[in-house]
Amino acid sequence: MFEGLFFNTTAFLFGLLIGSFLNVCIYRFPRDISVARPRSHCPHCLRTIAWYDNIPVVSFLMLRARCRHCLAAIPARYALVELSTGLAFLLSAYALGPSIAAAKYAVFSAILIALIVTDLLDRILPDELTLGGVLIGLAFAPFINAEPGILALIFWRLRSPGWIRLADAAFAAAVASGMIWFVGWAYQKVRHREGLGFGDVKMLAMLGAFLGLRGALAAMIGGSLLGAIFGLGYILIHKKSLTYELPFGSFLGIAALGVAVWGEVIAAWYGRLAR
């Protein structure tokens, strides 16, 4: 009992710290600024932020969402990113226990949260998160007993399941990204304008590496539906056509979180309870 509480609390606190780092990535990656230096500072007065003003969520509340020096407003998204990441780590730890699977879905959730916010704010999906996420997803693949993919079903007699899972993850990444690339290519040929950025293609590859082909396709369908609902709602409310670029990566990330949580984490939790 105590060990489980300690583990879950530690996971939540660690998630808050990761969320604080994600805020740095969200601001700096689109601007090609190093995440290592300079130290965190207020973008308005440029004063360096002291460690006691940089405690996740707590400092935001203590400072009442204002810079200590110039009193400029601190966007609420900073605390929301930190809290969301902490809760994602807590859910992964609570549902999956101390395991590689828990680490996988905690890391996956953190990458998705960063991509959702980055695309929403700057309409960009940084390679550090998408291509880096592909490599991380492939690194996890040999160690997780995921649902067998196409290659596992074909080569089921081979006695190297780790390599088969890795090949399945790579295959899923290639097929998922190839499908969304083809959709974007066809749209451009028909409408003579870009419909999808290449960042979306790389994000689908990352989803395939983590979720497998079926999970990536489910996320793609869910993201498309969310985008369509948002676009239709905009048209109905404002009585005019949508004239700005939709952050498809944000919708895709939200759908992928849903697939990961309901399709993987919660299912694994129920499996543990049933044993």
Alpha-carbon distance of 93 to 218, in angstroms, equals 24
Structure tokens at 74: 């601190």
Alpha-carbon distance of 101 to 167, in angstroms, equals 18
| Model pLDDT, residue 18 | 97
Contact indicator for 142, 166 with CB cutoff of 8 Å: yes
Structure tokens at 222: 């869910």
Instruction: Give kind and range of the element (H or E) at residue 32.
Output: none
265: left (phi over 0), alpha (psi -120 to 50) or beta: alpha
Cα Rg of the chain (Å, integer): 20
Structure tokens at 129: 């998160």
Structure tokens at 145: 């007993």
Say which residues have a Cβ less than 8 Å from residue 9's Cβ, sequence separation at least 6: none
Handedness of CA 89, 93, 94, 95 (dihedral sign): positive
CA distances from 115 to 12, 15, 211 (A): 20, 16, 16
Q: Is the pTM of this model over 0.75?
A: yes
Alpha-carbon distance of 49 to 68, in angstroms, equals 9
Handedness of CA 33, 39, 45, 50 (dihedral sign): positive
Contact indicator for 130, 205 with CB cutoff of 8 Å: yes
pLDDT in tens, the chain (275 residues): 667 789 999 999 999 999 999 999 999 999 999 998 888 888 889 899 998 999 999 999 999 999 999 999 999 999 999 999 999 999 999 988 899 999 999 999 999 999 999 999 999 999 999 999 999 999 999 988 656 666 655 655 555 577 788 888 999 999 999 988 888 777 777 766 666 678 899 999 999 999 998 899 999 999 999 988 988 887 787 766 666 677 889 999 999 999 988 776 666 665 666 55
Alpha-carbon torsion angle 116, 17, 85, 9, nearest 10: 180
| Model pLDDT, residue 11 | 97
Alpha-carbon distance of 67 to 59, in angstroms, equals 10
